[in-house]
Amino acid sequence: MDLSLNEKRLLKVLEPLKKADPATLAARMETSGESVIQFAMLLEGRGLCRVEKQVDTTYSLTDEGARYAREGLPERQLLQSFGDRIPMSELTRHPLSRIGIGQMRKKGWVAIRDGMVEKTGNDAPGEEELALRDLSRGGAGLGELLKRGLVTDHQETSYLIALTTEGETLVKRGLDLEAEVGTLSREQIITGTWKDLRLRRYSLGTLPKRIYPGKVHPYQRLIGEMRNVLLYMGFTEIYGDIVQSAFWNFDALFQPQDHPAREMQDTFYLKETIQVPPGFERVRDMHLHGGTTSSTGWGGQWSREKAEQCVLRTHTTSLSIQHLAAHPEPPVKAFCINRVYRREAIDPTHLPEFEQLEGIVMDEGVSFRHLLGYLKEFYFRMGFADVRFRPAYFPYTEPSVEPEVFVPGLGWVEMGGAGIFREEVTAPWGIHHPVLAWGLGVSRMAMLRLGLKDLRLLYKSDIEWVKEMPSWQQGLENRGGR
Amino acid sequence: MAVITLHYRYLERLVGSDRETILARLPMIGSDIERIEEDHVDVEFFPDRPDLFSVEGVARAMRGFLGLETGLPKYKVTPSGISFSIDPGLAAIRPYLGSAVIRGISLDEESILSLMGLQEALHWAVGRGRSKVAIGIHDLDAVTPPFRYLAADRSRAFVPLDFSEEMTMEEILDHHPKGRAYAHVVRDFPRYPLIVDARDRVLSFPPIINGELRTAVNIICTALAETGATIQCVEIGGAHVPTLAPTERLVSANEASTLLGVELDPLALSLLLEKMRFGAEPAGGDQVRVMVPCYRADIMHDWDIFEDAAIAYGYEHFDAAISPTFAIGCPHPVMEIYGAAREILCGLGFQEVMPFTLTNERVLSSRMQRPLPDSALKVMHPISEEHTHVRTDLIPLLLEMCQLNRHRELPQRLFALGDVVEGLATRQRVACVSTHLGADFSEAYAVADALCREFSLAFTVREPDDPAFLAGRRGALLVGGRQVGVFGEIHPAVLNAWELEHPVAAVELDLTAVPGYPCPPGTP
């Protein structure tokens, strides 16, 4: 058995006494009572001694209680302040009447009739008064005094430490009491005295106190991982304002001005406005008649006022199109992972704000086939080896596609949308090559990867969850590629 | 979304194939199967394809997709001799009307269900809740042509559907369930649109009809024609409608090949399009003459046709591969600054949290004892009282997080970084809070100092008058004379407001002050 020196010393001093209190043992070991209890607990764990815990309660008078012990309880003082009877109105003038009258009645010392207080003659000292004179009597009287706040109790825990037979046997076999060293001192290390020291051996069975590192949020870690995948794939990161004009958020993406997604029902509008940028006429013409492309446009009317309304961006595509407008020459490979805002009622899977990932590739000769290739590669690196594609509809892409990934236990899970930007979207900005684009609800991926049932936990986090979630988990095996 | 119920028996009869084959291929034409039941399947189709909102329309498309019957479906239209007149008084109200006569229709239970489902779905997708198109189907034997479309007086009375009493049009808008639901669409007009027959009997009180109506008429007529009905045209203001005639488009097979990344000669492209029920034939060179069926409302651009070719080709048959495009990955400087802030604060032992950006005045202002900044942005139609403003600061959201975690062990050291909005501009901030028995001004100052040193920010300090902090235990960080941050011990009254019981040291820094911050802020 690997006993520390302190444990051995305690056994040694305990052996002749068999049973003792910590103070006695502490004096003999030249240490504190607390330390003795601590060593004894360790020995108890090994079955070498027993720690008997005893809780003693002592009682003492409060200041108020002490005064009454001298002068009598308020009801006794009040009772003695008048003869056989007294009008209530008069008695209430006595300074102790507020406590006293009720108590006198309760104890049956007086009766009250027609506004007169009359003694019943039944006024022998009760349990309370006896207890007040001698607290050690205890009983119901003491309980009442505690309730009335005239007495307080103190609980004292005391310990008795007793040697067990096993302990005794061990001591009789002899204990090596050579001093052991815990923490090495600088002196011991540099002078070389450590060579002669007996170093304490620590128990591996005792788990350490849990400590936690400062941590990145698990969701942020997942976002960072996606960001890295796209950076490794050669994409440039874009970033931009939360507040966008409806022009960049909708019109530039060829969403007709009467499209349901543009209604107040689905989008957060602000009362502010932002002017349409130079070149807005080309977007307007695209809506009206398809501009210079083979498109018919939406026809009808196009309102500049509607385009200048401000919204909280409903997708990061508003940033993608601005990036393309600023960089119309190929190649462009860009991505964005950031918050978007939709006017959704809050429930476990819907929130009014959430992260969206978006990637775009614009280059000479890129095609739908390449779009499917980028989707496959991206999802593979995110840990989804099986990807399949289905036709889909999005207002600003043509052709459009919905990728699905295979998740063991769940089957095929829809994972975002993709397509080639419509010519109506790209032509106004002098972009002459196809733009492959895909978007993904990051929180959906987070639910899968972090095993969440309620998205709100991401934003209104239980910090215990953040603390306990490991920084590294399986599922990143594909990050390095095939 | 439009979810269409397809009864197998009817669907199998119309397609001429078994349900297993149909169900296996249905998603690949562009749909989501919602529920598979004993006798039917519920399928969601995309809003750009209202021609698929009926069993008849789906069957027509699937016959092509499965190769059972390809090419342009041809619909014959004969004259009906029936006419409609349109009151010129409707010009400023709702001047558009479409109509057709459908004869020889045999309606059984399944086709009636399909027709009602189609009408409902068209009201939603094409009519936008009847604000753009309203559709009425009437029994021709029960009414007498010719018909008139009138701008009627609001006090005109008739007996509406499902009612026994006569009501004026105004009363209908107030009391009839359908009238109330769509009242907002016509309420403001001086006179209301009304359709009556030769004997002045009211057929309908259409909330609105305009541009999209041709699509709706074509879709309904062609769906019924699929069941064997004869379509007859009606004379409206001198024109005979509907014609159900296709539209012609000349497209380039080379352009299709380049867009899709698949070699398609004009013949191959034509064959694919025929499967999608277009009429298509090589037209010399790389051109293909495409006849677009009258029910296809979604074909606006040549690429819309190429998408159909891709669907016919089968998404599963594309050789998916990334393009050889060379570009070097490049992080955005703002994200790099965020990354550095994260590294510094994690190193100082803080845990990251990611609060919402939408918050409210109570969080930003009243609980903080701070006035709401003039630059705070309010959303016009918030979804709840909790989400009325875009955040202007991060410390309030961290205190809210502490409140949520009151029952958790101390110490708690939390940080958040992210966007705040000042006016219309998005700015970046980092903030942290530390709460435990000994959290105090010195801790806040030490963290603020470390954060600034790590960001190479030379700063000076002065005491601000920020009431969120205790006087004499607060500091403002200044860089080049501009206040870029605050730190200190949170005021006990603020702690009370947040129901926090232990002192909190807090720091917030505006990251636009960091050297190398890209200018102007918010440029994508």
The pLDDT tens digits for A281-304 are 999 999 999 998 999 998 888 999
Same-domain status, A296 and A393: yes
Domain boundary among A131, A164, A196: A196
Q: Which residues of B touch A420 (CB under 8 A)?
A: 259, 303
Work out the minimum CA distance from A274 to partner chain B, whole angstroms.
9
Q: Which residues in A lie closer than 8 A to residue B387 (C-beta atoms)?
A: 352
Which residue from B minimizes the CA distance to A342?
B383
**Same domain assignment for residues A294 and A383:** yes
Q: Using the beta-carbon criterion (under 8 Å), do A463 and B412 form an inter-chain contact?
A: yes
Each residue's pLDDT, cut to its tens digit, for chain B (524 residues) gives 688 899 999 999 999 999 999 999 999 998 989 999 999 999 999 888 989 998 999 999 999 999 999 999 999 999 888 888 888 887 777 778 888 888 887 777 777 788 888 888 888 877 777 667 778 788 888 788 888 888 888 788 777 666 777 878 778 778 777 777 777 767 777 788 888 888 877 777 765 444 466 777 888 888 888 888 888 888 887 888 888 899 999 999 999 999 999 999 999 999 999 999 999 999 999 999 999 999 998 899 999 999 999 999 999 999 999 999 999 999 999 999 999 999 999 999 999 999 999 999 999 999 999 999 988 999 999 988 999 999 999 999 999 999 999 999 999 999 999 999 998 999 999 999 999 999 999 999 999 999 999 999 999 999 999 999 999 999 999 999 999 999 999 999 999 999 999 999 999 999 999 998 986 544 44
Are A370 and B261 a contacting pair at CB < 8 A?
A: yes
Of B419, B413, B410, B401, nearest to B506 by C-alpha is B413
Answer yes or no: do A370 and B321 touch at CB < 8 A: yes
Q: Among the three residues A147, A168, A187, which one is the final residue of a domain in this structure?
A: A147
CA distance A473 to chain B (A): 18
Q: Are B323 and A231 a contacting pair at CB < 8 A? A: no
ipTM: 0.87
In chain B, what residues touch A323 (CB-CB under 8 Å)?
524
Same domain for A143 and A246, yes or no, is no
Which of B214, B318, B415 to mutate to probe the A interface, most A CBs <10 Å? B318
In a domain, A165, yes or no: yes
Inside any domain, residue A207? no
CB contact under 8 A, A269 and B425: no
Looking at the structure, do residues A125 and A164 belong to the same domain, yes or no? no
Closest chain B residue by Cα to residue A340:
B357
| CA–CA dist B136, B159 (Å, integer) | 16
Asked if A391 has any chain B CB less than 8 Å from its own CB, the reply is: yes
| A159 reaches B (C-beta below 8 A) | no
Evaluate whether residue A202 is within a structural domain: no
Q: Does the residue A209 lie in any domain?
A: no
Residues of B in Cβ contact (< 8 Å) with A300: 211
User: Would you call A431 an interface residue with chain B, using a CB distance cutoff of 8 Å?
Assistant: no
Name the minimum distance, in Å, from the CA of B42 to any CA of chain A: 17
Q: Print the SS3 string covering chain A.
A: CCCCHHHHHHHHHHHHHCEECHHHHHHHHCCCHHHHHHHHHHHHHCCCEEEEEEEEEEEEECHHHHHHHHHCCHHHHHHCCCCCEEEHHHHCCCCCHHHHHHHHHHCCCEEEECCEEEECCCCCCCHHHHHHHCHHHCHHHHHHHHHCCCEEEEEEEEEEEEECHHHHHHHHCCCCCCCCECCCCHHHHHHCHHHHCCECCCCCCCCCCCCCCCECCHHHHHHHHHHHHHHHCCCEECCCCCEEEHHHHCHHHCCCCCCHHHCCCCCCEEEEECCCCCCHHHHHHHHHHCCCCCCCCCCCCCCHHHHHEEEECCCCHHHHHHHHHHCCCCCEEEEEEEEEECCCCCECCECCEEEEEEEEEECCCCCHHHHHHHHHHHHHHCCCCCEEEEECCCCCEEEEEEEEEEECCCEEEECCEEEEECHHHHHHHCCCCCEEEEEEEHHHHHHHHHCCCCCHHHHCCCHHHHHHCCCCCCCCCCCCCC
CB nearest to B30's CB, from A290, A326, A391: A391
The answer to whether the CB atoms of A231 and B329 lie below 8 A apart is yes
Provide, as residue numbers in chain A, all residues whose Cβ is less than 8 Å from the Cβ of B128.
Answer: 258, 260
Chain A closest CA to B144's CA: distance in Å?
Answer: 35
Of A85, A114, A147, which residue sits at a domain end? A147
* Residue from the list A232, A234, A420 with its beta carbon closest to the beta carbon of B259: A420
A331 and A411 within one domain: yes
Q: Is A345 part of any domain? A: yes
The residue range of the domain holding A29 is 5-58+155-196
Residue A180: the pLDDT is: 77
Distance from CA of B105 to the nearest CA of A (A): 33
Is A475's pLDDT higher than 80?
no
- CB contact under 8 Å between B354 and A217, yes or no, is yes
Residue of A nearest to B48 (CA): A393
Do A192 and A77 share a domain, yes or no? no
> How close is the nearest chain A Cα to the Cα of B82, in Å?
30
Which of B300, B326, B388, B417 is the best substitution to test chain A (most A C-beta atoms within 10 A)? B300
Domain-located, residue A98: yes
* Inter-chain CB proximity B315 and A391 less than 8 Å: yes
Residues A325 and A388 in one domain: yes
CATH value at residue A124? 1.10.10
Q: Above 90 in pLDDT, residue A148?
A: no
User: A237 touching B, CB under 8 A?
Assistant: yes
Nearest CA in chain A to B425: A241
For chain A, positions 328-387, list CB contacts with chain B under 8 A. Answer: 330-333, 339, 341, 343-346, 351-353, 361, 363, 365-370, 372-377
Give me the pLDDT at residue A434, please.
96
How many structural domains are present in chain A?
3
What CATH number corresponds to the domain at position A12?
1.10.10.10
Does residue A53 carry a pLDDT above 60? yes
Query: What's the rounded mean pLDDT across residues A191-201?
Result: 88
Asked if residue A97 and residue A173 are part of one domain, the reply reads no
Residues A28 and A92 in one domain: no
A223 inside domain: yes
The answer, yes or no, to whether residue A307 has pLDDT greater than 50, is: yes
Check whether residue A289 and residue A316 sit in a common domain: yes
- Determine the residue of chain B that is closest to A224 in CA distance: B339
How far is it, in rounded angstroms, from Cα B58 to Cα B422? 51
Residue A213 lies in a domain: no
Q: Within this chain, do residues A271 and A372 fall inside the same structural domain, yes or no?
A: yes
CATH number, domain with residue A441: 3.30.930.10
Instruction: Find residues 263-322 of chain A whose CB sits inside 8 Å of chain B.
Output: 264, 268-272, 274, 290, 293-300, 310, 312, 319, 322
Q: Which residues of A touch B390 (CB under 8 A)?
A: 242-243, 312
Query: In chain B, which residues have their Cβ closer than 8 Å to the Cβ of A256?
Result: none
Q: What is the mean pLDDT of chain A?
A: 89
Per-residue pLDDT at B308: 96
Contact B424 A243 (CB under 8 A): yes
Instruction: Kindly determine whether residue A400 and residue B322, on different chains, have CB atoms separated by under 8 Å.
Output: no
Chain A hits for B355, CB-CB cut-off 8 Å, are 459-460
Structure confidence at residue A228 as a pLDDT band (50, 70, 90): very high
**Chain A residues closer than 8 Å to B353 by CB:** 217, 461, 463, 466
Classify B222 as helix, strand or coil: helix
- Decide which of B1 and A469 is more confident: A469
Residues A226 and A188 occupy one common structural domain: no
Contact between A369 and B311 using a beta-carbon 8 Å cutoff: no
